[in-house]
Amino acid sequence: MDSPLASPTKARQAAIQAKDWAYVNSWLNRHYAPNPVPKFERNEDTLRALLALAAANEAADEEAAMLHHAREQTIEGFKAREKREEMQKVEILDGVEHCLDETGAGNLEDLAETVAVLGTLGTKTNDVGQSIIELTKEEFEAQGQMRRVQSLHGYLERELVTLRELLDELKSDPAFETPANLPALTSEWTRSTKLLNSKVTEYQDRTTALERSSNKGATLEKVMLEEEEVSRMIESTKSLEIKMKMFHDLPKDISNARARYQDLERELNQLTQERDSMFENLVDR
């Protein structure tokens, strides 16, 4: 096999191939950066394919760069033209404004203020007319809302006056005042309730003792009657407790509360007498 040094043609081919591989390696490194280039078989077919791919890729990049540059130039041209047109418009409007007399300048100022207030996009008659119609509708709706708000405000003011009058009446009416002796009455009712509870317990104990010490000759009917009497007594006591708890709901008026209290006191005395009489009869038996 001939050495490249012995054949100038092969030496040139080897140099060209080395240059091509250097170009391909540089392109692959740029393409895969920052990752390493994958391993592949390096032969002439692979080199030709990679050279074609790199050339096509660079051509596409150059075309994209040219398109981007052309687009930027076009945009800059549009911006420059818009700027020139805007400056021309300003110059024309300034010239027209300088040429107007006092009446024309006033009309122009009024038109500008009208357009600014209405928020229209231009000074065309249709746009200004439509904006005026919309503004009229909004004004009519706002007036309706104001009337409803004023009506509601008046109603609330009247209700506030009524509530204040009612509050003053509640503060000044003696019927709604707390009786001065209410704490004393509450304490007395509490003591009475505790006393009744202790009496009920005592009488229950006495009843139990009587049942245990009753003679053997007592008939079943007699015992049942005695149990019924004791049950009635317990129910009466419970009813009395419920009524005593209801004392907390007495009328706030002093006279009515005192009358109600006296009625309940008489009822309590009557029930107490009946209870004592029943227990005395049981003891005598």
Can you tell me whether residue 29 is helix, strand or coil?
helix
pLDDT attached to residue 244: 66
What is the average per-residue pLDDT within 203-213? 76
What is the rounded CA–CA span in Å between residue 282 and residue 276?
10
What mean pLDDT, rounded, does the chain reach? 78
In the chain, the percentage of residues whose pLDDT exceeds 70 is: 81
DSSP output for 37-88: PPP---SHHHHHHHHHHHHHHHHHHHHHHHHHHHHHHHHHHHHHHHHHHHHH
Residue 282 scores a pLDDT above 70: no
- For 217, which DSSP code? T
What is the average per-residue pLDDT within 181-189? 79
At 82-127, the pLDDT tens digits run 888 888 877 877 777 677 777 877 776 777 777 777 777 666 677 7
Asked if 117 and 103 count as a contact pair (C-beta separation under 8 A), the reply is no
Asked if 274 and 229 count as a contact pair (C-beta separation under 8 A), the reply is no
End-to-end CA distance of the chain: 150
At 31-77, the pLDDT tens digits run 888 888 888 888 888 888 888 888 888 888 888 889 998 899 889 88
Closest by alpha carbon to 17, among 43, 52, 54? 43
Asked if 285 and 230 count as a contact pair (C-beta separation under 8 A), the reply is no
Which of 10-19, 154-163, 267-276 is the least confident region? 267-276
- Of residues 7 and 147, more confidently modeled: 147
pLDDT attached to residue 246: 63
What is the average per-residue pLDDT within 205-227? 69
Asked if 281 and 237 count as a contact pair (C-beta separation under 8 A), the reply is no
The token pair at 239 is: 């009813």
pLDDT attached to residue 2: 46
What is the average per-residue pLDDT within 264-280? 77
Q: Report CA torsion sign: 52, 56, 59, 61.
A: negative
The angle subtended at Cα 281 by Cα 277 and Cα 285, nearest 5°, is 170
Which are the contacts of 108, defined by CB distance < 8 A and separation ≥ 6?
Answer: 97, 100
pLDDT attached to residue 4: 46
pLDDT attached to residue 252: 63
What is the rounded CA–CA span in Å between residue 17 and residue 42?
11
pLDDT attached to residue 1: 43
pLDDT attached to residue 92: 79
Residue 5 scores a pLDDT above 70: no
pLDDT attached to residue 226: 76
pLDDT attached to residue 231: 81
The angle subtended at Cα 197 by Cα 191 and Cα 285, nearest 5°, is 130
pLDDT attached to residue 215: 53
pLDDT attached to residue 61: 84
What is the average per-residue pLDDT within 118-147? 79
